[in-house]
Amino acid sequence: ETGVTQSPTHLIKTRGQQVTLRCSSQSGHNTVSWYQQALGQGPQFIFQYYREEENGRGNFPPRFSGLQFPNYSSELNVNALELDDSALYLCASSSFQRNYGYTFGSGTRLTVV
């Protein structure tokens, strides 16, 4: 059983740029969620995808968007980066049955300068 892997592990971008973060979900998990974790805070829900469609969104602007692919991989895209977007971005996958907890990746540390 594979875990959740995220790439890259660290990234530095300039304000105004665009970034794409990638996640490979655990095999058999058809639901993926993305979270933003600012330093010293708990993770904040960005959105979730089920069967390649967004079916839940937190309080994040439209410049945060995502994709989920048939092979259970997914992407988080952020346009027009702002300094406050600097955070750890976590991907979590789960099966529909939710028989066990969500499996999180180690995250991508994004720094916007």
Which residues of this chain interact with another protein, rule CB under 8 A? 31, 33, 35, 40-45, 48, 50, 56, 58, 88, 90, 92, 94, 98, 100-107, 109
Complex with another protein: residue 14 or 100, whichever CB lies closer: 100
Half-sphere exposure of 22 (CA within 13 A, CB side): 6
Which segments of 1-113 are extended strands (E)? 5-7, 10-13, 19-24, 31-37, 44-50, 53-57, 64-68, 73-78, 87-94, 103-104, 108-112
Task: Give me the least distance between CB of 16 and another protein, in Å please.
Answer: 26
Complex with another protein: residue 14 or 59, whichever CB lies closer: 59
Task: Give me the least distance between CB of 23 and another protein, in Å please.
Answer: 13
